[in-house]
Structures are given as C-alpha cells and as structure tokens.
A = this chain, B = another copy of it.
Amino acid sequence: MKARVNVMLKNGVLDPQGAAVRHALGAMGFEGVNDVRQGKVIELDVADGTTEESIKQMCEKLLANTVIESYTIELA
C-alpha cells in the first residue's frame, strides 16, 4: 500500500526556500503571488497492513523535525 507524508515548516518558521521562489516568480512577471511555502512530500510504498500509527512513528523519529515542521499522513 501507498502512504504519502507531507512535511511543511510550521507557521512562523522562516522559509527562505519559499521566499526565494516567491521572488523568482515576481521577477519572471507572475503577479499576485502573495506567499510561497515549500515543503517535502514523501511517498512510501509499505507492506499491506502497515498502520497509520507506524507511519506516524516514522514521521516523529525520522521524516519530520517536529520542532519546526508539521506533517500530515494520507493513506491510499
């Protein structure tokens, strides 16, 4: 089965990558871009029957730095 983990910087944490993208879009003539935040998406192909709890453990221990990042898990 597939699981998708989205990892984003928490609100209030400076996101220089996102800021760079926003500036670049403006410089390229794209208007109306107010804010950009960039994060990671991690697609896991795990054995059938893997629990969401187990994937949560992976996030807590490795995939996300929970001090500055939040994550969401989607099972498919």
Q: List the interface of chain A (C-beta within 8 A of B).
A: 6, 8, 18, 21, 24-25, 28, 30-47, 50, 54, 57-58, 61-63
Q: Given A30-B54, A63-B21, are A41 and B40 also a contact pair (CB < 8 Å)?
A: yes
Residue of B nearest to A47 (CB): B32
Chain B residues contacting A50 (CB-CB under 8 Å) are: 32
Question: Judging by beta carbons under 8 Å apart, are A6 and B39 in contact?
Answer: no
Which listed residue (B30, B47, B54) contacts A34, Cβ 8 A? B47
Residue of B nearest to A36 (CB): B44
Chain B residues contacting A38 (CB-CB under 8 Å) are: 40-43
Which listed residue (B25, B37, B40, B44) contacts A33, Cβ 8 A? B44
